[in-house]
Amino acid sequence: MIGREETILVLETAIDDMNPEIYSYLLDKLVKEGALDAYLTPVYMKKNRPGVLLSVICSDQGRDRLTQVLFQETTTAGIRSCRTQRTVLQRRQGSVPTRFGTMKVKIFNGDTGEYTVPEFEECRRAAQKHNVPLKTVYEEVIARSKKLSVKSKA
């Protein structure tokens, strides 16, 4: 089997009556409070009203806290939960020297080999600091990681 299997929870609620400006704040807060991921999907609800399906992926240990955040920060009246399996690739942290400084990366191992993904926030900061397009920083991190052996942080 590629990767490893783990059990997770998916918390979901459909919302059609909340100020959409709140979602950015909410997604950040959910991740800070322990969500493994949180995302929005546009949906049509009863009476053909546009709404959002808010999904939060978490561990059993995070369920109570994240449910509390959803009730406090949204207009939802109910939250569904579903236990499910996911398969995740082996990953580790590393760093790549670039002209923008040493950049953090995630290194994944899959059936097609190893690949590197730049850390977004670090690339964003470097792009702003050096006044270059974000894609330029990403491209250099990826290119340098292919040429050099990426230093791992075990």
**CATH code where residue 108 lies:** 3.10.20.300
Residue 7 confidence (pLDDT): 96
Same domain, 83 and 94: no
Tell me which of 36, 61, 87 is where a domain ends.
Answer: 87
pLDDT higher than threshold 60 for residue 150: no
Q: What is the pLDDT of residue 1?
A: 56
The pLDDT of residue 32 is: 98
Contact 98, 142 (CB under 8 A): no
Q: How many domains does the chain have?
A: 2
Residue 9 CB contacts under 8 Å (≥ 6 apart), including other chains: 57, 58, 59, 60, 62, 63, 81, 82, 83, 84
> Is residue 153 pLDDT above 70, yes or no?
no
For the segment 100-113, the average pLDDT, to the nearest whole number, is 89
User: pLDDT averaged over the chain?
Assistant: 93
Whether 101 and 112 have beta carbons less than 8 Å apart is answered as no
Task: Select from 63, 87, 111 the last residue of a domain.
Answer: 87
Average pLDDT over residues 73-98: 95
- Tell me the average pLDDT across 117-123: 95
**Pair (13, 73) in one structural domain:** yes
**Among residues 43, 61, 87, which one ends one of the domains?**
87
| Residue-level pLDDT at 3 | 80
Asked if residue 73 lies in contact with residue 26, where contact means CB atoms within 8 angstroms, the answer is yes
Shared domain for 10 and 81, answered yes or no, is yes
Q: Structural domain of residue 81, as residue ranges? A: 4-87
